[in-house]
Amino acid sequence: MRRAGRRGRIAVLGASAAGLAAAETLRTQGFDDELVIVGAEPHLPYKRPPLSKQVLDGRWAADRAFLRTAAEIEELDASWSLGVRAVGLDPAARRVTLSDRSVVEYDGLVIATGVSPRRLAHGHDLAGVQVLRTLEDAQAVGRELVAGRRLVIVGAGFLGCEVAAVARRSDVHVTLVDPLPAPMIRQLGSDIARHVAALHTSHGTEVRTGVGVRALTGVDGRVTTVELTDGSVLAADAVLVAIGSTPNVGWLAGSGLSLTDGVDCDARCRAGTDIVAAGDVASWEHPGFGRRMRVEHQTNALEQGAAAARSLLGTEAEDFAPVPFFWSDQYDVKLQVYGAPHESATKRIVRGDPAEGRFAATYQHDGRLVAVLTWNMPREALGLREQLVAEMEGRGAAAR
């Protein structure tokens, strides 16, 4: 039974977590016309968090990371174009041009094209220099994790720190390099970042912060050294570049869509007439935080994909106002964060003791609770999340 009241073809650009969530929601909300899903990778949608954990260290075969079984994909009744990417959009004609020169005409469009890893300005032509975004990347990096080898990780954010932990379990010599004062300082703030640095140091990782990379050099086409901006030189058998990512919006140049930080959307994920965006590529107005946000985490991708689909169909009655959630597994530590830690927030330990390896912290900014964090205290995380949700709902109601 149709409930959505929309006919025609809906195209989903991005065979990703967000794209899949959008497609499934379109179906469950009653859209039963033509559904086209385009993906730049040759794979069906898969989970990205295991790439720096279980897939990287070989505990999972690659196919275990897929989000749905073949039977579930078949049940979706969609046309899939994989291994091809969008290269142009004409909103007036409602046409998307693909890299194989084919054209997809649409009546509704979901943009879920994700992000691409940033690269250094030099050195990526050398063997052994890797980024980590795709299944193939994870397998390539995993092959470098051989006991006794030397891995230099450029970038000490979530990805760099997680790979460092996996590599140390394989007895790889690891050096983390970052120009900022401490690992994960952008995500967690300086107080918690100091604990992250101590965690890595205690497990044998060399942490070189406050210094950047000047050059990568090699012998016979393979990387052998990393020269830092302080003049020191690190020997390297492999290098992982984990310096962040950029939204995949180059193909939207000239489309007329706002592209300030990814695809700019309103509070209901709408980017243009009959166009919505979701996942890592989408920047939207979050009513609970009172500012524009773009979140690169799987939980948000799944939630926003569903919300964008409902918005496209006209069945969404509320703004998209989730409590952002992300987690990180490093060595024997599970970090869980709800909310959006602000770089100027005041951090306070409210449970446990960092010296004992278990604690919870809150982040306050302008007198408001904006995030909560737990370090090996998963039960505390849920209670603190409820407190954050209550405060956010109160702020959202006041704004309305």
Tell me if 319 is assigned to some domain.
no
Residues 229 and 123 in one domain: yes
Give residue 85's Cα distance to chain centre.
Answer: 19
Residue 43 has pLDDT above 50, yes or no: yes
Tell me if 51 is assigned to some domain.
yes
Sign of the dihedral defined by the CA atoms of residues 210, 196, 164, 244, in that order? negative
Residues 126 and 202 in one domain: yes
Residue 320 has pLDDT above 80, yes or no: yes
Lowest mean pLDDT across 14-28, 188-202, 354-368, 383-397: 383-397
* The two three-digit tokens of residue 339, written as one number: 């909310």
User: Under 8 Å CB-to-CB from 306, ≥6 apart: which residues?
Assistant: 21, 22, 24, 25
Pairing state between β 263-264 and 282-286: parallel
User: Angle, nearest 10°, between helix axes 158-169 and 190-202?
Assistant: 20
Residues 351 and 385 in one domain: yes
Tell me if 71 is assigned to some domain.
yes
Residues 131 and 238 in one domain: yes
pLDDT-based confidence at residue 392 (cuts at 50, 70, 90):
confident
Residues 201 and 255 in one domain: no
Model pLDDT, residue 317: 77
Lowest mean pLDDT across 158-172, 197-211, 366-380: 366-380
Tell me if 49 is assigned to some domain.
yes
Compute the half-sphere exposure of residue 399: CA atoms within 13 Å on the CB side of its CA: 16
Residue 397 has pLDDT above 60, yes or no: no
Residues 111 and 18 in one domain: yes
Q: CATH number of the domain at 362, please.
A: 3.30.390.30
Predicted confidence (pLDDT) per residue in 80-132, tens digit: 999 999 999 999 999 999 999 999 999 999 999 999 999 999 999 999 999 99
Residue where a domain stops, chosen among 217, 243, 269: 243
Q: What is the pTM of this model?
A: 0.94
Is residue 138 within 8 Å of residue 51, measured between CB atoms? yes
Residue 25 has pLDDT above 90, yes or no: yes
Tell me if 326 is assigned to some domain.
no
User: Under 8 Å CB-to-CB from 368, ≥6 apart: which residues?
Assistant: 391, 395
Question: Based on C-alpha coordinates, what's the Rg of the chain?
Answer: 22
Residues 107 and 18 in one domain: yes
Residue where a domain stops, chosen among 211, 243, 275: 243
- DSSP per-residue codes, 269-297: SEEETTEEE-GGGEEEEETTTTEEE---S
What mean pLDDT comes out for the span 334-340? 94
CA pair distance 141, 166, nearest whole angstrom? 11
Predicted confidence (pLDDT) per residue in 246-300, tens digit: 999 999 999 999 999 999 999 999 999 999 999 999 999 998 888 899 999 999 9
Tell me if 91 is assigned to some domain.
yes
Higher pLDDT, 5 or 364: 364
Residues 233 and 281 in one domain: no
Residue 353's closest CA among 124, 205, 195, 214? 195
Which domain covers residue 229, as residue numbers? 119-243
- DSSP per-residue codes, 76-108: T--EEEES--EEEEETTTTEEEETTS-EEE-SE
User: Under 8 Å CB-to-CB from 79, ≥6 apart: which residues?
Assistant: 34, 35, 36, 37
Residues 233 and 150 in one domain: yes
Residues 95 and 174 in one domain: no
Residues 187 and 257 in one domain: no
Lowest mean pLDDT across 152-156, 207-211, 384-388: 384-388
Residue 364's closest CA among 189, 139, 231? 189
Three-state DSSP state, 386: helix
Residue where a domain stops, chosen among 225, 243, 261: 243
Residue type, 321: A
Model pLDDT, residue 394: 65
Is residue 38 within 8 Å of residue 81, measured between CB atoms? yes
CA pair distance 10, 143, nearest whole angstrom? 40
Is residue 163 within 8 Å of residue 242, measured between CB atoms? yes
Predicted confidence (pLDDT) per residue in 207-237, tens digit: 999 999 999 999 999 999 999 999 999 999 9
* The two three-digit tokens of residue 293, written as one number: 């946000």
Residues 112 and 219 in one domain: no
Pairing state between β 291-293 and 325-330: unpaired
Lowest mean pLDDT across 108-112, 185-189, 371-375: 185-189
Q: CATH number of the domain at 30, please.
A: 3.50.50.60
pLDDT-based confidence at residue 2 (cuts at 50, 70, 90):
very low
Is residue 264 within 8 Å of residue 111, measured between CB atoms? no
pLDDT-based confidence at residue 7 (cuts at 50, 70, 90):
low
Q: 208: which strand partners?
A: 177
Model pLDDT, residue 3: 42
**H helix or E strand, kind and range, residue 75:** helix 70-75
Tell me if 323 is assigned to some domain.
no
Count of domains in the chain?
Answer: 3
Tell me if 321 is assigned to some domain.
no
CA pair distance 79, 150, nearest whole angstrom? 45
% the chain with pLDDT above 90: 88
